[in-house]
Amino acid sequence: MPYIGNTPAEKYAAFNVQNFTTSATTSYTLDRAVANELDIRLVINNVIQQPGVGKAYTASGTTLTLSGATTGTDTMYAVYIGKAVQTVNPGAGSVGPTALQDNSVTTAKLQDNSVTNAKLADATQGDVIYYGAAGAPAQLTAGTSGYFLKTQGAGANPIWAADNNTVSTIRENVNPVLINGSMEVAQRSTSVSGIGNGDTGYHTCDRWRYEEGGSPTQEWTQSQDEIDSSDGGDAWANGFIRQLKMDCTTASGSLAAGDYEVIEQRIEKQDCNIFKKGTSGSEKYTLTFWIKASKTGINIVELKDNSYTRTCSQSYTINVANTFEKKTVVFPADPTGGFTPNAQLGLSARWYLNAGTNYQSGSLQTTWGSTTAANQAVGQVNQADSTANVWNLTGAQLEAGEYTASTVPPFQSNTYGASENRCQRYYFKTWYVANMPYASGVANGTTNARALLIYPQTMRSNPSMGTSGGTDFKVYCGATNVTTTNVAFYYGYRKQVLLYADVASGLTNGQGAVIIDSSGSSFITGDSEL
């Protein structure tokens, strides 16, 4: 049947009974409060009493009043008959967890946005919630910084993993800060001997510069050397096949105080902007490289701000002789002195080979500050103290931000062509190809031809030009084939240069002319290195 109000329960509650100890009195106290005498049934000596005023008893709250006094031998009890039927709405706070049937609260019964963060289990920042084997939510605690969340397919829990092999080593549309860090491009030469006193400059691997201070007597053979499985160790296993090799050929066990030797790469200011130097949001620098040397011990690598004469040095240790080791070195951020975005020299990354006492008498400057010679290379071993010493570098990369050896991004591989193109912004060298013209133009009289040479890449600045020799070329002019007496450069710019080729005679004024090889080994160079 229908009901007005709450639907009654399908069972009844038991009535509560209170027994009294009687005495010669008309007033008694009830165990629970009542609205009036109709909420109880009073029985005295097994006789039901009539409730109401002027009748056997009245009641209000917890006070029971009789119309006549009882005796000490009477028996009396009250039955509480109010609210005998249960309702379907339980009282507030009356339902405990044991009263709920399993799975009785469904999603449909939950109000939207009713479950707050306070009702969720406590967790730690960085944790991940996933479904475990039992189909219930589980908590994966935060992983090591730089790790990846790795799924293991259906039926297996996710894990944190240092799985850099899943990340492409080619970063689309991004170029590494250090150019030719894998030492694969060597336009000038693959081997140059006798490098030492007075030979500061670029010799073999593009973008890598030898610099010296003072008048060091030691000498080196610098080469672009192949790496293979027999000597490359972990470097070869990580994809590096070439290295910059410094082989000591003349040793010096005692350096002059002002002597030092470094291998460095110089970086344009506008390529340093990713470090946000000179701002409150300046980034740390992480330098990673593969090193192998005959001499173990402490070595120094330095970042140099050439615009503001500021430096910061860090040490690393070569632990095992003649074995490639991967080093990761972090330099602090520098909020002082931002770089103007132009093509001039900004930062230099410098690896010391040795250093005299002028550069080791202080304390190593591991924070950015004004360049102080005494603090630049403290602890540096002498890599040139024996002709048995060899020093090798490859896989050099400079990243914005702080990384460890396990979290540093993988080496940013470029194709050989892409690396060569970037190197040719600073230096190019044409290679002899039989009967192929270097430049084409027109004869300017009988003894001179003018020809335009287009560079393979736009240069950083107007380059200084050079040739293998003034007599290494020929001028073709009509049917005439004349060897040059000199080749000069005029009206050069970042993209091209006008060549003047002189001959003894034989050209026809105004006739087309091309400049080609004569010696079988001719070349033309353009240099706009930092």
Kindly indicate the confidence band of residue 89, based on its pLDDT and cuts at 50, 70 and 90: low
What percent of the chain is predicted at pLDDT more than 90? 74
Cβ-based neighbours of 453, under 8 Å, separated by 6 or more: 438, 439, 496, 497, 498, 499, 524
> Which whole number is the average pLDDT over 68-95?
75
Output the pTM of the full model: 0.70
Q: Is the pLDDT at 517 greater than 50, yes or no?
A: yes
Average pLDDT over every residue of 380-403: 98
Half-sphere exposure of 222 (CA within 13 A, CB side): 27
pLDDT attached to residue 10: 57
- C-beta atoms surrounding 282 within 10 Å: 19
455-489 confidence digits (pLDDT tens): 999 999 999 999 999 999 999 999 899 999 999 99
Sort strands 128-131 and 16-21 into parallel, antiparallel or unpaired.
unpaired
Q: Considering the chain, what is the average pLDDT of its residues?
A: 90
Residue 87 confidence (pLDDT) above 60: no
CB 393 within 8 A of CB 426: no
pLDDT class for 493, splitting at 50, 70, 90? very high
User: Selecting from 1.25.40, 2.60.40, 2.40.50, 2.60.290, what CATH number does the domain 427-527 have?
Assistant: 2.60.40
Question: In the predicted model, what is the mean pLDDT of residues 169-186?
Answer: 80
Query: What's the rounded Cα separation, in Å, for the pair 470 and 479?
Result: 22
Q: Which residue has the higher pLDDT, 6 or 450?
A: 450
Instruction: Name the residue with higher pLDDT: 145 or 527.
Output: 527
Q: Which helix (H) or strand (E) holds 421?
A: helix 416-423
| CATH 2.60.40 residue spans of the chain | 427-527
Between 123 and 86, residue with greater pLDDT:
123
User: Of 11 and 237, which is predicted with more confidence?
Assistant: 237
**pLDDT at position 150, please?**
78
Reported as a pLDDT band with limits 50, 70 and 90, residue 163 is: low
Assign 165 a pLDDT band (cuts: 50, 70, 90). very low
In angstroms, the CA 41 to CA 415 distance is 102
Give CA–CA dist 521/471, Å, rounded. Answer: 11
d(C-alpha 76, C-alpha 20), whole Å? 6
CA distance 171 to 399: 13
Residue predicted with more confidence, 157 or 51 = 51
Cβ within 8 Å of residue 166, ≥6 positions away: 148
> How far apart, in whole angstroms, are the C-alpha atoms of residue 316 and residue 366?
12
Given pLDDT bands bounded at 50, 70 and 90, which one contains residue 506? Answer: very high
Which DSSP state fits 479?
Answer: T
Query: 111 or 332: whose pLDDT is higher?
Result: 332
Quickly state the pLDDT bin for 2 (edges 50, 70, 90): low
- In the predicted model, is pLDDT for residue 122 greater than 80? no
CATH for the stretch 191-421: 2.60.120.260
Q: How far from 404 is each of 276, 300, 368, 413, CA to CA, in Å?
A: 21, 18, 20, 20
Can you read off the two tokens belonging to residue 112?
Answer: 């939207």
Contact yes or no for 181/244 (Cβ under 8 A): no
Give the pLDDT band of residue 339 (cuts 50, 70, 90): very high
Q: Where in the chain is the domain with CATH 2.60.120.260?
A: 191-421
Please tell me the distance from the alpha carbon of residue 285 to that of residue 331, in angstroms, as a whole number. 5
Instruction: Judge whether 454 and 430 are in contact, CB under 8 Å.
Output: no
Residue 86 has pLDDT above 50, yes or no: no
Instruction: Please compute the mean of the pLDDT values over residues 337-344 and round it to a whole number.
Output: 94
The answer to which of 67-71, 281-285, 311-315, 439-443 has the lowest mean pLDDT is: 67-71
Given a cut of 80, whether residue 252 has pLDDT beyond it is yes
| pLDDT at residue 102 tops 90 | no
